[in-house]
Amino acid sequence: MSNDTPMNLQDAIQCDIDDPLSRFRERFHLPTDEDGKPLIYFCGNSLGLMPRTAFDDVTAELEDWRDLAVEGHLNGRRPWLPYHESFRQQGARLVGALPVEVVFMNTLTTNLHLLMASFYRPDSTRFKILSDGPGFPSDTYALQSQIRWHGFDPQEGMVVLKPREGENILRDEDVLEAIDQHRDELAMVMFSGVNYFTGQAYDIQNIGKRCQKHGIPFGLDLAHAAGNIDLQLHDHGVDFAAWCTYKYINCGPGSVAGAFVHQRHADDQERVRLAGWWGNDPATRFRMDENPQFVAQPGAEGWQVSNPPIFSMAPLHSSLSIFDEAGIGALRARSKKLTGYLESCIDAIGSDHYQIVTPREEDRRGAQISIRVVGDASALQEALQAAGIVTDFRPPDVVRVAPTALYNSFEEIHRFAGVLAQVATSPTPPGGD
């Protein structure tokens, strides 16, 4: 918790001037209001902004389709046949992995199902799944359906950890204790890297160690973590993970997702999986034998099912190049400064008006501060919209604010805090008599 007096406007502007990473803001299209004025966009945790060069990335593929048709698979500017291979190195750097451990394919929940088909192998004794709460609905549906698919009751099979009474976030020791307590019943531990609601970043390293100790597969949904925090999936022993690319990775709505499978599983031909031709050994992928036999190519690419969606994948060129240039470590450091400044601004207004749901320790949260509004939350939302500030409201009283390191600024946080203060001291809600 910061007890410092927040910066004034000029100091905030100077911080942006002095920060070399501020230049990346110019690489993105900023949404505007009807008068063409840029909005203050704090919703990158739902949908990231468009890199300016992404338009050219997609256009190039459309032009090659138009001009080359089927020949684009081999003769396009970026041939489609090996298209996904060009992202191995950059994708690995983004999530702290080896190139063999990463592939971009499908969408997030599809990838989770494909991976759980291999790593969630329950039996009559160990069939439960431990997960964090509050969980994102899509994850909950996926986990419940996997349990049901294997013939078990989701009510018995789901072990959802929730914060202690009167607290907002999970304690690290409670997570590890739960793994120990249920170790003989657990077929899988499935957590989010960063909780979508609270913004809490979990202790992936120690969860991974505890799962390995008990022989429990450990998977992650990194939708709110990839491109946000400095991940080390290989070193932290995660078995598998999946993430979308439309939030912090800025590849557009419904864009292709990513997947990780640890190197220790890379050559395991005996591991059950839902197979398709693109996961097969490329040397025999196109053979039209009378009785073809699936031979998984090594690593995460062996979990592919279908050929890559080129138009959906094209924005990765721009996005991953930006991350490579900026460096995820440097972006994470800037993110901590932004959220720290936002925290100090909220604290200065007072807990009588706003209460921070997100962890106070900078290493335990992502690029997000979730604020519980004491009073009329809808009035705050109206005021933010009127001021051209885009946030995410979770009824009945929580506003999620995501200052994204690549394109948000200290000045924007200062202006956002001004609206918070104005609403807090206003005798009547906006639009009132």
Contact (CB, 8 A) for 258 and 245: yes
Instruction: Please provide the CATH number assigned to the domain covering 58-324.
Output: 3.40.640.10
pLDDT of 432 reads: 42
Q: Which residues of the chain have pLDDT under 70?
A: 1-5, 427-433
Q: What is the pLDDT of residue 378?
A: 87
Query: Which of 3.40.50.970, 3.40.1360.10, 3.90.1150.10, 3.40.50.300 would CATH assign to domain 9-38+328-425?
Result: 3.90.1150.10
Which residues fall within 8 angstroms of residue 124, CB to CB, at 6 or more apart?
Answer: none
Give the separation between CA 60 and CA 67, rounded to whole angstroms: 10
The domain locations on the chain are 9-38+328-425, 58-324
| Token pair belonging to 372 | 């519980």
3-state secondary structure of 264: helix
Beta bridge partners of 219: 190, 240
| Predicted local distance difference test score (pLDDT) of residue 267 | 94
Nearest to 113 by CA among 227, 219, 247, 266: 219
The string of pLDDT tens digits covering residues 319-340 is 999 999 999 999 999 999 999 9
Which tokens is 339 given?
Answer: 């959220």
pLDDT value of residue 430: 45
Cα–chain center distance at 273: 24
Backbone region of residue 413 per phi and psi (left: phi > 0; alpha: psi in -120 to 50; beta: other values)? alpha
- Encode pLDDT of 8-66 as tens digits: 899 999 999 999 999 999 999 999 999 999 999 999 999 999 999 999 999 999 999 99
Of the candidates 94, 19, 65, the residue with the CA atom closest to the CA atom of residue 311: 65
- pLDDT for res 33: 95
pLDDT given for residue 137 in this prediction: 93
Instruction: Please report the pLDDT score of residue 242 as a whole number.
Output: 98
Q: Say how many C-beta atoms besides its own lie within 10 A of residue 143's C-beta.
A: 25
